[in-house]
Amino acid sequence: MSNRHAVIIVAGLVAVAQSAAPPYFGFVADSGGRLHAPLGHYPRWAPPGPEDVCSAMGARQPAAAIPAPSCPPSPERRPQFRARVNLIRLSLESAGVIVAALVGAFVARRARVSPRH
């Protein structure tokens, strides 16, 4: 197996890992988009719950701006705390992996080519 193949396999494994544990962000549905916070990477089979969203909101919001919600959320407020996959961050991370794979494949090709005498 050549270096180029190894680079492509590693990039593929990173892409699979990214799709298995994408970045999430949380928001409060009834805030008009004003209350939101990044949550980090979670596995698709165990996405962040309302408690995770609420605690991220409390840590993210400055005290003087919008009042942070009280945690844990009450049972009637739980549906308002939602988590979604952060598609913009996932796209940027995927683009970074693609660029790194292309650079790695180029470097592997250049290292394999011997200089002419």
Give the pLDDT confidence of 104-114 residue by residue, as tens digits.
878 877 766 55
- pLDDT reported for residue 64: 43
- pLDDT reported for residue 22: 93
Domain boundaries, the chain: 1-22+86-117, 25-85
- pLDDT reported for residue 116: 62
pTM: predicted TM-score of the whole model, two decimal places? 0.74
Half-sphere exposure (CA, 13 Å, Cβ side) for 19? Answer: 5
DSSP alpha helix (H) spans, 21-44: none
The answer to whether residues 100 and 11 touch, using CB atoms and an 8 Å cutoff, is: yes
pLDDT band at 92 (very low <50, low <70, confident <90, very high): very high
pLDDT band at 6 (very low <50, low <70, confident <90, very high): confident
DSSP alpha helix (H) spans, the chain: 3-20, 50-60, 87-112
Please list the residues that pair with 37 across neighbouring strands: 26
- pLDDT reported for residue 42: 93
pLDDT > 90 fraction of the chain, expressed in percent and rounded: 19
Cα distances from 61 to residues 31, 36, 48, 87, 90, in angstroms, run 13, 9, 19, 22, 23
